[in-house]
Amino acid sequence: MLPLPSDDKKVSSFLVFYIIISTQIGIGILSFQRYLAKEAGQDAWISIIISAVSIHIILWMLYQILNKGNNDIFAIHKDLFGKWIGGLLSLALVAYMVLATVTVIRRYIEVVQVWMFYQMSTWYITFILAVLIYVYVIGGFRVIVGLCFFSFFILIPLLSLNIFALEQPQFSYLFPIMEHSASDLLAGSKVMSLYFSGFETILFFYPFIKNAPSSQKWAQLGIAVSTFFYLFSALICFVYFSFNQLEQTIWPQVTLWKIVDFPFLERFEYAGITAWLFIILPNLCIYMWAATRGVKQLFSMKQKYSLVLFLSIVIVATPFFKERAQLYSLIDFIGVVAMYVIYAYIPFLFFYQLIRNKLRGTS
């Protein structure tokens, strides 16, 4: 394992707030309302809260694991499971990061192609995004955190423009409350597990936080703010669209931007989609940084070499998902993987470490 990073490579604990939001708010917020409403209808906002509460608990577990391990997930894997099994588990997490990168890029490209440039090549857009990712990741973790900070202040006005939809709200669409069963609400919270994912990247960057244990309050606050953004976006969509309309609207958030009316800008959705690049870019950079950090820990390969390797894989793999059915199969798959990582593997790791330490007589 590599030595812990020096203080000049670490970031202040409060910046974890911006990192968590950047990993959780991305391409998914443009379309999640539709899929959530399919499961829980007008009660879907309750599913968001249920999912958020569970994520707060999982984050607490993550910090317990990391605080006791006093390092990133790769060192913890080796300590708990040995070199070979721990290495395989770490490689699986690296693959998960790369696959998540492919998924986010392909989903963003779909939005760009449908709304703006239908005939633009998938490969061409992927290459441009790969170059941007390379520039930021090669700058190091602190540069990526700066990008997370910057993107937060782009996100706020972009989502705040949803208030244009409140000129003629239909609050009756939210009633009756609690009409759906507990199983429907849980199905909706299961859908939200994909959209709340990303916070688990703290498994990778934990050693790069100054006084890392104290950053938990900022991470929890970040999840709370992400929850607010999802609730805000969902509730406005639910009072603007009927649920029949919502079933036919693939990207409700982009559709809401169509009603934004500025004298100097006629089609705001074009500006919104373009600006959204700066929302997903920190997400992509953190995934790629985490994957390259993992390879550096496991094989002592310099991050710039593994970065080129992984970005090459992304450039080659992304255009393979040409049809919408292929893309949504990929989204479903990464959703299942994310759910198992969050709700199965992290609790397993928490209880395994807890029992092992108890048996060894350590706290």
Please report, for the domain that includes residue 229, its CATH number: 1.20.1740.10
- pLDDT confidence bin for 264, thresholds 50/70/90: confident
Q: What is the pLDDT at residue 324?
A: 82
- Write down the pLDDT at residue 2: 66
Q: State yes or no: pLDDT of 17 exceeds 80.
A: yes
Q: Considering the domain boundaries, does residue 12 fall inside one?
A: yes
pTM: 0.95
Angle at alpha carbon of residue 213, lines to 212 and 214, rounded to 5°? 90
Which of 312 and 75 is assigned the larger pLDDT?
312
Residue 356 included in any domain? yes
Per the structure, the count of domains in the chain is 1
pLDDT recorded at residue 169: 85
pLDDT digits (tens, 9 = 90+) for 99-116: 999 999 999 999 999 998
Q: Please report whether residue 274 resides in a domain.
A: yes
Q: What is the mean pLDDT of residues 220-240?
A: 96
With respect to residue 1, please indicate whether it lies within any of the assigned structural domains: no
At 148, which helix (H) or strand (E)? helix 141-160
Domain range enclosing 254: 7-360
Residue with token string 């479903």: 332
User: Does residue 2 lie in a domain region?
Assistant: no
Return the half-sphere exposure (C-beta side, CA atoms, 13 A cut-off) of residue 95. Answer: 9
What pLDDT sits at residue 362?
62
Answer for the pair 76, 90: CB distance below 8 angstroms, yes or no: no
8 A C-beta contact, residue 21 and residue 222: yes
Q: For the segment 59-89, what is each residue's pLDDT rounded down to a tens digit?
A: 999 999 999 877 789 989 999 999 899 999 9
Residue 210 lies in a domain: yes
DSSP 31: T
Over residues 313-318, mean pLDDT: 95
Q: What's the mean per-residue pLDDT of the chain? A: 92
